[in-house]
A and B are shown apart, each in its own frame.
Chain A
Amino acid sequence: MALLEVEDLRVAFGGSTAVDGVDFQVDEGQVVGLVGESGCGKSVTSLAIMGLLPRQSKVTARKRHRGGVTVSGRARFEGKDLLTLPRNEMRKRRGQELAMVFQDPLSSLNPVVRIGVQITEVLERHRGLRGEAARKEAAHLLDRVGIPDPTRRLTEYPHQLSGGMRQRVLIAIAVACAPRLLIADEPTTALDVTIQAQILELLKDLVDSEGTALLMITHDLGVVAGLCDEVNVLYSGRVVESAPARDLFARPTHPYTVGLLKSIPRLDLPIHEPLHPIRGSIVDVIRWKDGCAFAPRCDSVTEKCVEGEPALVGTEHAHRCVMAEEIA
């Protein structure tokens, strides 16, 4: 059984759709990538799973309206649907079995509370550790994520740390309770490449040694290639291609994935290799009902593409393109 199984997840803000039927799963100890461009629904998907969407109080599979946010579908964690879990139970799981790391470490840390206190709070709430024992464990955690001189750092405030160190602190808090699943939403996007390399190495190491499953959200196909076992490519609120990482990069099938790979400059290819951009621009309005949402930008488009909603076809290597067989 999958650790996390997301099925037909839909999220709308007021009348506008943000996530339009996302399916994917994460197995025990696996690293799964959710990749796509700005606005395709990556963050909203993860927030929905974590129960962190604004004022989403009683979401049920039957679709209910609360504070403008509508969530439907299923997100089963160890068989239990997180979307219908009572608030307090969700809160208990969050931090203990499921944890999350965000892009901007500064806004995720409380600026006026010392680092040490922010970590020991979590240790007390979820592991019942107090006083000296909690402080010791906090220092151990900082050491674990590679922060030098951890005892001194515990007494400092977030602004006294560099961006890379803050991200390490957030990761330390996230892994404090040895969660089964860690969701990382663009954890290195705000960082320099050399610091990004440090953080990716740390995540890889944690996943390997603790057997934590990782859902990695990113727009960077390089990060996906280096880290993930499975990849889901999102476009306009839906998964358009899903495959084991090696397979996806060796045999990209959906024209969007193909286009993305052809449009990025690469260090490992001849220097004057021309780039082939995807034409047009990303549209804000999600539209799958009248056919493929990628159709206006697709070079392989035919009438078939706009004759109804393309389905996700295939199991191991799945794609959502009616032309895929003919293109290949």
Chain B
Amino acid sequence: MSAETSTPTSTALLEVEDLEVHFPIRSGVIFERTIGAVRAVDGVSLSIGAGQTYGLVGESGCGKTTLGRAVLRLEEPTGGSVHLGDTDVTALRSENLRRFRSRMQMVFQDPLGSLNPRHNVEMLLAEPLRVHRINDRAEQRRLAEETLDAVGLPTSVLERYPHEFSGGQRQRLGIARALMLRPDLIVCDEPVSALDVSIQAQVMNLLDELQGEFGLTYMVIAHDLAVVRHLSDRVGVMYLGKIVEEADSEEIYENPRHPYTKALLSAVPQPDPEVEASRERIILKGDLPSPANPPSGCRFRTRCPWAQDICAEETPVWREVAEGHKVACHFDRFD
């Protein structure tokens, strides 16, 4: 099989089609057998234009991280495809995959956990270069200094170790590391959720600036809807392994169509008592069902205030309700 196949027609940088990641649930002590699967990502399609930011929101366990990891092939998809430019990422094998990885990087939620505590900044930044056989010390140093400058850290930090930095500075380091190979795509998984409120804005502004400077395409994963709205051009709302609504950022927040999106948005408390006093809340009942055994029909029906019989019987089709605005729900009106 050829490692690189080309997509038909597309101007998108990233094209994800019907992606699936199912984790087998195994049982048995001696003879292990598979008794089911956690359907963490269960048929997701999305595309991101070059230089754009796609925001992925949804509650804990809905599959955001798994989706992001599968896009970068840090998790093996069990179905579907991922194209970056003309390259079918899902078809890449060994050496080709290793080489291709320089074009896609990840920024993690926990900056400390993702940085080796025994390596100083110079080593941390040089590591991705070494993996990609850029071994010239002077070149490594030049790239490191240039990148530190871009993320707003002085070059004097090269000798320092991760624990000597504050949370916000560590996240800058995490971003610098992802930038070292000058990738096309960066998947940012909860890039600010571990940071203090006053520091979050610094990192969000930095992500913004770097996008312009390096022509980056982002996939931003976050559970904070205000963070995603601020950073993204387009937003997908995920529930139990599927995207249930997708639209341009402005549109989805102004005009949410799916009951889950409506509920999510109505649940976010705003820092203004006047707004809070008049806000209409949709309080959902119950908890997220298990992704190993998702409800029949519409997955959201067990918590949906508007669910009808048809919701249990038929899976809602993924349909366009306005230009560029897609929803998976049987209904258009909720009164």
A-to-B contact residues, CB < 8 Å: 37-38, 148, 162, 164-165, 192-198, 200-201, 219-226, 245-246, 249, 259-261, 263-268, 271, 274-279, 281-282, 297
Of the candidates B168, B199, B202, B270, which one forms a contact with A222 in the assembled complex, judged by CB atoms under 8 Å apart?
B270
Which residue from chain B places its CB closest to the CB of A275 in the assembled complex? Answer: B201
When C-beta atoms are compared, the residue in chain B nearest to A276 turns out to be B201
Task: Judge whether B8 is part of the interface by a CB distance below 8 angstroms.
Answer: no
Q: Is the C-beta of B143 less than 8 angstroms from some C-beta in chain A?
A: no
- CB atoms of A220 and B269 under 8 A apart: yes
The reply to whether the CB of B213 lies closer than 8 angstroms to some CB of chain A is: no
Is the Cβ of B267 less than 8 Å from the Cβ of A193? yes
Known contacts A197-B267, A266-B271, A275-B201; 19 further A-B pairs (Cβ under 8 A) = A148-B286, A162-B288, A192-B60, A193-B59, A193-B223, A194-B59, A197-B283, A200-B269, A225-B269, A264-B200, A265-B201, A265-B230, A271-B249, A275-B204, A275-B205, A277-B198, A277-B199, A277-B201, A281-B167
27 contacts between A and B (CB under 8 A): A192-B59, A193-B223, A194-B263, A194-B264, A194-B283, A194-B284, A196-B267, A197-B284, A222-B268, A222-B269, A222-B270, A223-B269, A225-B270, A226-B270, A249-B272, A263-B198, A264-B201, A265-B229, A267-B225, A267-B253, A267-B270, A268-B270, A275-B230, A277-B198, A281-B166, A281-B167, A282-B166
Residues on B facing A (Cβ under 8 Å): 59-60, 166-169, 196-202, 204-205, 223, 225-227, 229-230, 249-250, 253, 263-276, 279, 281, 283-284, 286-288
Are A268 and B272 within 8 A (Cβ)?
yes
Q: Which chain B residues lie closer than 8 Å to A37 at the CB level? A: 196-198
Are B284 and A263 in contact, with the CB atoms below 8 A? Answer: no
Query: Could you tell me if A267 and B229 are in contact, using CB atoms closer than 8 angstroms?
Result: yes
Chain A neighbourhood of B284, CB < 8 A: 194, 197-198
Q: CA of A284 to CA of B9 in the docked complex: distance in angstroms? A: 54
State how many angstroms separate the Cβ of B207 from the closest Cβ of chain A: 11
- Is B269 a contact partner of A263 (Cβ separation < 8 A)? no
> Closest CB of chain A to B19's CB: distance in Å?
23
Determine the chain A residues whose CB is within 8 A of the CB of B273 once the complex forms.
225-226, 245-246, 249
**Complex interface: chain B residues within 8 A of A260 (CB):** 197-198
Most buried by A among B250, B267, B269, B283: B269
The docked-state distance in angstroms from the alpha carbon of A77 to that of B196 is 32
Task: Name which residue of chain A comes closest to B260, CB basis.
Answer: A194
Q: How far is the CB of B81 from chain A (nearest CB, A)?
A: 30
Q: How far is the CB of A165 from chain B (nearest CB, A)?
A: 7
Set B199, B264, B274, B286: member contacting A193, Cβ < 8 A: B264
Docked-complex contact A201 and B281, CB < 8 angstroms: yes
- Quick check: B268 and A193 within 8 Å, CB to CB? yes
Q: Which residues of the other chain, A, contact B227 by a CB distance below 8 angstroms?
A: 265
- Distance from A235 Cβ to chain B, minimum over Cβ atoms (Å): 10
Q: Is the CB of B272 within 8 A of A225?
A: yes
Most central of B199, B204, B227 by chain A CB within 10 Å: B199
List of A residues within 8 angstroms of B200 by Cβ: 263-264, 277
Distance in angstroms from A37 CB to nearest chain B CB is 4
A246 to B200, CA, bound (A): 25
What chain B residues lie within 8 Å of A274 (beta carbons)?
Answer: 205
Residue on A nearest B202 in the bound complex, by CB? A277
Cα of A194 to Cα of B230 in the assembled complex, Å? 20
Distance between B90 CB and nearest chain A CB, rounded to angstroms: 31
Supposing A245-B273, A277-B205 touch, asked if A263 and B264 sit within 8 A by C-beta, the answer is no
* 4 pairs of A and B residues whose beta carbons are closest in the complex: A222-B269, A277-B201, A221-B271, A263-B201
Q: In the assembled complex, which residues on chain B have CB atoms less than 8 Å from the CB atom of A195?
A: 287
B59 to chain A: which residues have CB within 8 Å? 192-194
Q: Could you say which residues of chain B place their CB within 8 Å of the CB of A278?
A: 198-199, 201
Known A195-B287, A265-B227, A281-B169; judge A271-B250 contact (CB<8 A): yes
Complex Cα gap A198–B275 (Å): 18
> Smallest CB–CB gap between A16 and chain B, Å?
17
Closest to B169 in A: A281
Given A263-B201, A266-B226, the answer on whether A164 and B169 have CB atoms closer than 8 Å is no
Chain A residues whose C-beta falls within 8 Å of the C-beta of B230 in the assembled complex:
265, 271, 275
Given A194-B267, A265-B204, also A246-B274 (CB < 8 A): yes
User: Measured between alpha carbons, how far is A14 from B185 in the docked complex, in Å?
Assistant: 48
Whether the pair A267, B197 counts as a contact (CB closer than 8 A) is no
Q: Give CA–CA (A193, B60) in the complex, Å.
A: 10
Contact A165 B287 (CB under 8 A): yes
Given contacts A192-B59, A222-B271, contact A267 B226 (CB under 8 A): yes
Query: When chains A and B are docked, how far (Å) is the Cα of A201 from the Cα of B281?
Result: 10
- Of chain B, the residue at the smallest CB distance from A224 is B271
Chain A residues near B167 (CB-CB < 8 A): 281
Closest residue of chain B to A231 (Cβ to Cβ) is B273
Q: Which residues of A contact B226 (CB under 8 A)?
A: 264-267
Most buried by A among B202, B230, B250, B281: B230
Closest CB of chain B to A199's CB: distance in Å? 10
Determine the distance from Cα of A182 to Cα of B86 in the docked complex, in whole angstroms.
Answer: 59
**What is the bound-complex CA distance between A198 and B288, given in angstroms?**
13
Q: Do residues B196 and A282 form an inter-chain contact, with CB atoms below 8 A? A: yes
Give complex CA distance A132, B273 in Å.
Answer: 44
Tell me the smallest distance from the CB of B249 to a CB of chain A, in Å: 6
Q: What chain B residues lie within 8 Å of A276 (beta carbons)?
A: 201
